Structure 1
Amino acid sequence: MSKLRKINVKTWLPIVAGGYLLLFTFYAQAGGTPATYMRLLTDTIPSSPKTAVPGNADSTRKADTTGRKDSTLHIDSLRISKDSLDAPVKYSAEDSGVLIMETGDFYLYGKSKVDYKNLKVDAQIISFNQKSQTLKAYGALDSTGNPLSKPKFVQDDMETVSDSIFFNLETGKGLVKGTFLKQGEMFVYAERLKKVNAEEAFAWRARITTCNLDTPHFAFRTRKLKVINNKLGVSGSAYPEFEGVPMPIGIPFGIYPLYQGRHSGILAPAFTSSEDFGLGIEGLGYYKVINDYVDVTTKVNLYSYGGWLLNANSKYIQRYKFTGSLNITLQNSKTLNRFGASKEEFSKSRSFMINWTHSRDSRARPGTNFSASVNFGSTKFNESLLNNPYQNYQNQLSSSISYSKDWNGKYNISINANHNQNNNLRLVNLNLPTVNFNVVTFYPFQKEEQIGTGKWYEKIGIGYSGNIQNQLAFYDTAFNFRRLLDTIQWGARHSIPISLQLPSLGPLTLTPGISYEERWYGQSMFAKWNTTTKRIDTTISKGFYTARQAAFSLAANTRIFGTYLFGPKSNIVGIRHEVRPTISFNYTPDMAASYYYDLQVDTTGRKVRASRYQGSLNGSFSEGAFGGVSFGIDNLLEMKVKNKKDTSEPDRKVKLLDGFGFTSSYNFLKDSMRLGTFNLYARSTLFDKINITATALLEPYDTDSMGFAINKLIFDPTKFKFGRLSSGNIAVTTSFQSKTKDGKEAKDKQLPVDPFMTPDEQQRQLQFARANPAEFTDFDIPWSISFTYSLNFTRAVKADYSGFETRTFSTLNFNGDFSLTDKWKVGATGYYDVSGTGLQQLSMFITREMHCWQLSINVTPIGRYRSFSILINPKSGILRDLRINRSRTFSNY
């Protein structure tokens, strides 16, 4: 008929085809489906044919095919064809492969694949011309007329799905029609897309979006678009459309970032409005990548009344060595005096804040560590921040810079610089520096090579711990360098514990101990009642002073178990009670009496005992000798229940009380009030949901009319009266949430944690999530709620020693959300002062899930600054700055 023939791969003809290929292409190597490789010198692309060449093929052409898995021809040395490709080609076809030897055309049919360098092509039909090195790919229709296997083209991070593909493997140029292109997070549809090289492509009549639906929710239409791989896309005039409906607005040109990874660029601002600050823009800045280890982010807030805030944040990291960040903020506040509190129209203030975190990788220098967490600034900084209700009420700041070194686990030293400040009192305390040196317990009498049971004295252990502190304090509202020097204090303490390990006496464990402690002071304080002014005057003397204390003890502890078993019909197997009693005999001589004195505190002549070292860094030793017993009981209560769901599974343990008990003491050497204060505590986790902790101090003695203790025990069993509570606290924390929509248990949704993110950055990220809850909601959970309640009370002596007063604090923190529909969710978070001041802070949100977009409304009706904001923006990080926002802030002051 003709010279064009169909060749089945299961026949012996592939061997003959291999001979033809050898003559025409000098060298060839082929294998069978599903995958074959074309070597460096390949001229044609064999495959596994199962169908004939299309009927419209030239009948004068010859065809040859190979396909048997064992039909491999290998030549050791041949000349290289000039028109050969420069890299292997991996290819396969589900149906068949046909080679036209005269023209060098090769066809693959049925789910064909070609893999060449960084290029991958999948299509229903692929053809390749060896002479021009041109590749063509087409889709097909199934028996019902629906599209089948549209050609897919992948090169580096660029991915397209098209109606047809024309590509030159040698030049890297190509043309695709009716194509969908994916570049990072960006999706582009173009009627025609022309690739001029591996990096650049031009699109005609394109649609740009980040929505991955066939009919996207939004897009930008343009006639001309240039795409630079992994860099950016640039278009001519474009107009947006929503749900396929064009908007009557347009832009003269468009720039669409396609960068992968971090890169320098401008940070778009958000607009706001405030009665106190005026109109403003927030977050305008620039992100700069300095090198692979350091970057800098600079932001500025500008307000129409003249206020501004400048922030510079730098993050640095070197893997396996260290990581950290430095954040510096300068704030110039200018707010309107709306309530006439001042004659001036505006109130002005300047403040600053410095945040520095640094941590060293433990693998950098084993045994040595350096870390820093610095939060230092003006005490008025937090209260002047706009749109940040959490920091507005952050009244405590603290910092720590620490260096530590360990010598083979025997000795260790740490040097710390600490800082804390109270923004309400405007008081700043600095510890510069604090040095701690410790010697781990060693056994001087123990032999290096122990043989048999050692002597009792070989169990004697000796340790040492030393501490040196330096502190200065000042009020930032009345800073004076000379006054600052007057506040400098220093102190040191040395402790030498001696222990002896004794063998257990059955269930009883005995532990004797001896300790010696010495404290050094840099000042001495003497207070005296002034009969003229009717108040206490204090005199401080600088110098070097010492005090010391010794203690001797013998402690014993054991464990007692008890179990109550239920009947076989009960779902409860039993209740187990574990009791852990402890008792210790202690003796502490009175070595502090020499620096205690009587101090008159009121006009009635009432006197109290005061120490010359009261108020110092290390505090003062207690006056009086102690010779008595300390005792306590700790309890654990748990229950074992049957597994109702699966009787083959073991019984389940449920803890009723994780621990409850008390500790106290009795001093035989005191002439009165020998029984000590009882420390009560309890902790439990109910149903694995509710965490409860409670502590209290129970005073066994009664008080006089002014609240001072007297030698009279409070003990009346008939009225269940055992002592009086002087202080206590209880905290309850719980959270509940529904199952997910698929019926599974919901997991806590956490913010993504960067392992190289510093703790301070993680804290700021958490604060941002709390301030913008609408952006961090989980629509798979229909509802969730959590709250924390705390109650504290204490009886404290009044400042003028005229008696005692009870101070009570009770607060409630809550957070929750629920879904109105599958796409709408509302929630709230707040802080309520139960003690009497009422609701201190409340933030509410409502958010709408719109697939590739999100709508969030945040309202703060109660707080230092009341505010609301509406934000609509795409979810994609590329178009994050393409947003519509409206926000306003109002002050309560």
Structure 2
Amino acid sequence: MTHKYSVLQYTKIAFKPLHTNLFNIVLLSFFLSLGYSNLYSQDIKKKQSNIPAKTQEVKKPIKEDTTKQTVAETPADTIKLDTINVKKNFLNGKVKYSAQKYAKIEQKKKLITLYDKAELYYQDVELKSGIIVLDYEKNEVYAGRIKDSLGNYTQFPSFKQGDNTVEPDSIRFNFKTKKALIWNSRSTQGEFNVKAAITKKENDSVYFLKGARFTTSKDVDNPEYYFQTNKIKFIPGKKIVTGFTNMVIADVPTPLFLPFAYFPLSKETSTSGVILPSYNDSNDKGFSLQNGGYYFALSDHYNLTLLGDYYTNGSYGISAQSSYANRYHYQGSFNLRFENNIISERGYPDYSKTKIYNIQWSHSQDSKSSPNSTFSASVNLGSSEYFKQTINQVNVGSSLNNSLSSSVSYSTVFHTIPEGRLSLTATHSQNTNTKEINMTLPTLQFSLDRIYPFASNDAAKKGFFKNINLQYNLNGRNSFVTTDSLFFKPEMFKDSEIGFQHSIPLSTNFKVFKHFSVSTSMNYEEVWYFKTIHKEYDNNLSTVVTTEVPGFDAFRTYSSSTSVGTTIYGTFNFGDDKKIKSIRHVMRPSISHSYTPSFEKYYNTYATDASGRMQNDYTRFEGGMYGAPGKNSSNFVGFNLSNTFEAKVTDKDSTKTEPKKIMLLNNLNLSTSYNFDATELNWAPVRVSGGTQFFDNKLSANFGMTLDPYAIDNSGNRINTFNIDNGGSLFRMTSANLTMNYSLSSSKENKKDKDSQGKRNGGREDDLFGSDINVGSQRKSQFTDEDEGKDVVSEFFRAKLPWDMTFAYSLTYGNNNREKKITGNSVMVSMNTDLTPKWKAGVSTGYDFVQKGVTFTQFRFERDLLSWRMDFNWTPFGDNASWNFYIGIKSGILSDIKWEKRNLTNH
């Protein structure tokens, strides 16, 4: 009999043997499998044992018959539900019972015997069995099996008291003392399935079991493995204490044993405990113990995990991880890791020592918690070399990512008239190749909603005047540009820049000639800086010196813009008897004009030589975060044309009466501009871009090119001569690019893990950069809950192999200086398949045709061993060349019984 309780959730504990001695591996793995709990001695009464019971759904009790009946001893065909009133000095209530074959009441012996599909209900006890004998003088009941016509046992007892259920071969229970004696019981306690030869129930809270086995296998009668023990003391919801325990695999006893063991069974969701380290080795750091530490279950809302690594060459790493949540308010996680990495040995030429770190924080707020304000965070910052140098990374794809970014933001709404919005954001952008860091602490944004001064609140806003509206926007920033080595050091804050940008846009829109939409706007802008520059020629240094001038300064600019656009539809019909019935072409041409006057008043001059004859112009606002006022006026006319092409074709489904719509070209855009105020090179290059999908949107293709109408000289500089007048074509293609992505699977849905740690680190969810290299118990299995129970043992292979594939191709072309060169040409592919019902395999690879080499390559294999799981992950070459092997029990409570081996062959 069992109590329902919550299964303990622990940070998984890993132990790995130091070498490949199989006896020591298995022995030490099992001995340390209980590392999250403490070991205690026990006080067990002799020849007393108990077992937890299996919880199952119980049918609703049979409706009571209010008519009092006495059943004769002669067998009857069918006995319906009956009741019997007894004296209070025997039973404290009514007994409801039924039987398929017969029910016999012996008044002198105080016995009720029920046979064949017997059911008995008394107080909180529900008993179903082949035969039931109730002694209502002794307050005892006995239930057992019966034999069918072939001599096989059927109708095993099912005993339920409250929430506890047990299914034994036979049972004897006393209603008054609540004691029970159970033979060959089968029950479930959390993730454990337990079977015991004899179980003795002392009371509702103490059980003793003799000749017991417990396992996480679903089939407790024929498990692939189990733990055999002769004595168990079980207290539901609190603990299990065992005597001498031996691990048995495939009915073969192993040398793994414990003299006694203690399992805490708290109803709390988690409990603090020790996390045992795992063993690894690498070529450049030696042997290591990784991820050992302690898990703190601080409360129901947050926890803390402290982990550490140590390598024999002196390297070490420490980390702190925490998850927190408050339902309907917020949830998040935090991860901080520091490593002192030493490669090789001191005195060798390849010796190096670096200190690297990484900070990750994610926080999201429930929309119900505060409708007027929100707070969110997504932080990933640290050393630029972290994902390239750390051995303890979670996803190898992170090492291929060359940027880190973070954002922490708070926003709120002011319910005024007009309504105001305020947001504060801290951002971080880091290039791991150049090690340059751009950070804002913070960015302030404030805006007031649109105001329509010439339209009443209820009136329709139509026409030029009624659509006139204005806004107010404020943007302020405190920004830093620094490097990895100066991050969060005093030198970083010395070069901070502070600025504010105020803008008041005034706009309106209206229609002319029914089919043309016109929008026009004017924008006033004012920029505040707290630091400007001054340039002058220094005779002593014989060079131009730029000095910073602290103090408040501001400039003001204004501009205007107008655009006119329309939409043109064209349909080409080919006839209803054709496969392609019609093609629809939609064009959206637009012409825009923008004007910005010259703000020469903000410019000064400085000498470029000692004589002072050579003068250059500059503005003191040069290099500001919001730009500087322009010296030259600009008077642009822009041209833009966007196109879409659709077709109506005959549907392959003959039952469909309407033709099928397909997209031929999702977009085809052309744009350029002409500057009237420019003295030369008035035309801007023509930009052409487009994209479409094929094969039911499984293949997406995007392309683009830049066409320059001007020629270049021998130095590669654009000259004010059209390319066609220089002996060339009308346009000179300076660059082009093509990208294609193809994703398909054998099923309609291609399921991916969208919330993996690797993706948060910067990896890809499509596995083109590889999946998690952590193949241990912390990694999520490729086998989902839907895979459980779908196959049978006899099914060794599948007639149809489930699979999915992601394909990517990229091509870039450069011709800025007539080099006519393919600068990039690579293909990547990721595939996953089910080789058998219990085998999954995957591969990620690619080829770079420009570098003439294979890109990142990874092979993945996983075997479902019923209660166990086996993983193998191999990266054969590259900076992250390694292999990883893992085999262990799936169950969370025994996930530390495993063997794991990793080897980083090259770093």
Distance 1:456 1:713 in 2: 41
Deviation, 1:591, is: 2.9
Are 1:165 and 2:171 counterparts? yes
- State which of 849, 859, 863 in structure 1 corresponds to 2:864: 849
2:588 alignment partner in structure 1? 580
- State which of 212, 217, 224 in structure 1 corresponds to 2:231: 224
Going from structure 1 to structure 2, the CA distance change for 1:552 and 1:92 (only over 3 Å counts) comes to farther
Distance 2:758 2:434 in 1: 30
Distance 1:97 1:536 in 2: 113
Are 1:874 and 2:882 counterparts? no
- State which of 328, 344, 349 in structure 2 corresponds to 1:341: 349
1:826 alignment partner in structure 2? 841
- State which of 411, 426, 429 in structure 1 corresponds to 2:420: 411
Counterpart of 2:166, as a letter, is T
1:627 alignment partner in structure 2? 635
Which region of structure 1 is more displaced relative to structure 2, 373-382 or 173-182?
373-382
Contact 1:34-1:92 within 8 A present in 2 as well: no
For residues 12-61 of structure 1, the C-alpha deviation after alignment (integer angstroms, 9 at most, x for no partner) is xxxxxxxxxxxxxxxxxxxxx984367xxxxxx98999997577x9xxxx
Distance 2:563 2:73 in 1: 96
Q: Classify the secondary structure of the residue corresponding to 1:586.
A: strand
Distance 1:596 1:49 in 2: 115
Going from structure 1 to structure 2, the CA distance change for 1:570 and 1:122 (only over 3 Å counts) comes to farther
2:832 alignment partner in structure 1? 817
Q: Classify the secondary structure of the residue corresponding to 1:770.
A: coil
Distance 1:112 1:47 in 2: 20
Counterpart of 1:827, as a letter, is G
For residues 209-266 of structure 1, the C-alpha deviation after alignment (integer angstroms, 9 at most, x for no partner) is 1111342111222222233334443322232222222234433334456566433333
Going from structure 1 to structure 2, the CA distance change for 1:598 and 1:873 (only over 3 Å counts) comes to farther
Deviation, 1:204, is: 1.6
5+ unaligned residues in a row in structure 2: which ranges? 1-58, 788-797
- State which of 463, 466, 478 in structure 2 corresponds to 1:458: 466
Deviation, 1:395, is: 3.9
Are 1:637 and 2:657 counterparts? no
Distance 1:386 1:690 in 2: 36
1:146 alignment partner in structure 2? 152
Are 1:186 and 2:192 counterparts? yes
2:516 alignment partner in structure 1? 508
Alignment of 1:368-387 (within 5 A): 368-387=373-392
Distance 1:503 1:114 in 2: 84
Distance 1:878 1:395 in 2: 39
Going from structure 1 to structure 2, the CA distance change for 1:831 and 1:746 (only over 3 Å counts) comes to same
Deviation, 1:648, is: 3.5
Distance 2:344 2:461 in 1: 82
Which region of structure 1 is more displaced relative to structure 2, 510-519 or 772-781?
772-781
Going from structure 1 to structure 2, the CA distance change for 1:613 and 1:139 (only over 3 Å counts) comes to farther
Q: Classify the secondary structure of the residue corresponding to 2:397.
A: helix
Contact 2:486-2:492 within 8 A present in 1 as well: no
Counterpart of 1:877, as a letter, is G
Deviation, 1:289, is: 1.5
The percentage of counterpart residues that share the same residue type is 28
5+ unaligned residues in a row in structure 1: which ranges? 1-32, 39-44, 58-63, 74-78, 739-744, 798-802
- State which of 363, 369, 375 in structure 2 corresponds to 1:364: 369
Going from structure 1 to structure 2, the CA distance change for 1:652 and 1:121 (only over 3 Å counts) comes to farther
Deviation, 1:191, is: 1.4
Distance 1:593 1:789 in 2: 52
Are 1:197 and 2:196 counterparts? no
Counterpart of 1:586, as a letter, is S
Counterpart of 1:878, as a letter, is I
Q: Classify the secondary structure of the residue corresponding to 2:421.
A: strand
Deviation, 1:597, is: 7.6
For residues 50-85 of structure 1, the C-alpha deviation after alignment (integer angstroms, 9 at most, x for no partner) is 997577x9xxxxxx98759xx999xxxxx9946555
Q: Classify the secondary structure of the residue corresponding to 2:876.
A: strand
Deviation, 1:693, is: 2.4
Going from structure 1 to structure 2, the CA distance change for 1:695 and 1:227 (only over 3 Å counts) comes to farther
Distance 2:843 2:60 in 1: 58
1:424 alignment partner in structure 2? 433
Contact 1:399-1:418 within 8 A present in 2 as well: yes
For residues 308-328 of structure 1, the C-alpha deviation after alignment (integer angstroms, 9 at most, x for no partner) is 222111222212222222322
Going from structure 1 to structure 2, the CA distance change for 1:99 and 1:886 (only over 3 Å counts) comes to same
Contact 1:507-1:558 within 8 A present in 2 as well: yes
Distance 1:533 1:89 in 2: 110
Are 1:36 and 2:52 counterparts? no
Distance 2:327 2:485 in 1: 43
Q: Classify the secondary structure of the residue corresponding to 2:806.
A: strand
Distance 1:241 1:418 in 2: 56
Which region of structure 1 is more displaced relative to structure 2, 675-684 or 259-268?
259-268
Q: Classify the secondary structure of the residue corresponding to 1:383.
A: helix
Alignment of 1:615-764 (within 5 A): 615-620=623-628, 624-648=632-656, 650-687=658-695, 688-715=697-724, 721-738=729-746, 745-751=747-753
2:254 alignment partner in structure 1? 247
Alignment of 1:772-851 (within 5 A): 772=774, 776-778=781-783, 782-792=802-812, 808-830=823-845, 833-836=848-851, 838-851=853-866
Contact 1:585-1:629 within 8 A present in 2 as well: yes
- State which of 423, 434, 438 in structure 1 corresponds to 2:447: 438
For residues 101-137 of structure 1, the C-alpha deviation after alignment (integer angstroms, 9 at most, x for no partner) is 5555445544445567876544333344444443333
1:76 alignment partner in structure 2? none
Are 1:215 and 2:222 counterparts? yes
Counterpart of 1:433, as a letter, is P
Alignment of 1:286-297 (within 5 A): 286-297=294-305
For residues 285-325 of structure 1, the C-alpha deviation after alignment (integer angstroms, 9 at most, x for no partner) is 32222122121122222222222222111222212222222
Distance 1:828 1:125 in 2: 59
Counterpart of 1:861, as a letter, is P
2:180 alignment partner in structure 1? 174
Contact 2:426-2:440 within 8 A present in 1 as well: yes
Q: Classify the secondary structure of the residue corresponding to 1:293.
A: coil
Going from structure 1 to structure 2, the CA distance change for 1:577 and 1:220 (only over 3 Å counts) comes to same
Contact 2:397-2:763 within 8 A present in 1 as well: no
| RMSD, aligned CA | 4.4
User: TM-score when scaled to structure 2?
Assistant: 0.79
Contact 2:420-2:446 within 8 A present in 1 as well: yes
Distance 1:658 1:212 in 2: 52
1:8 alignment partner in structure 2? none
Flag the structure with more relative contact order, 1 or 2, with Cα contacts below 8 A and sequence separation at least 6: 2
Going from structure 1 to structure 2, the CA distance change for 1:582 and 1:883 (only over 3 Å counts) comes to same
For residues 478-516 of structure 1, the C-alpha deviation after alignment (integer angstroms, 9 at most, x for no partner) is 579664344111222222111213256433222222222
Distance 2:467 2:906 in 1: 68
Q: Classify the secondary structure of the residue corresponding to 2:465.
A: helix
Distance 1:869 1:401 in 2: 36
Contact 2:603-2:617 within 8 A present in 1 as well: no
Contact 1:158-1:181 within 8 A present in 2 as well: no
Counterpart of 1:302, as a letter, is Y
Q: Classify the secondary structure of the residue corresponding to 1:294.
A: coil
Going from structure 1 to structure 2, the CA distance change for 1:35 and 1:709 (only over 3 Å counts) comes to same
Counterpart of 1:427, as a letter, is E
For residues 332-368 of structure 1, the C-alpha deviation after alignment (integer angstroms, 9 at most, x for no partner) is 22332499335xxx53333333322323322222211
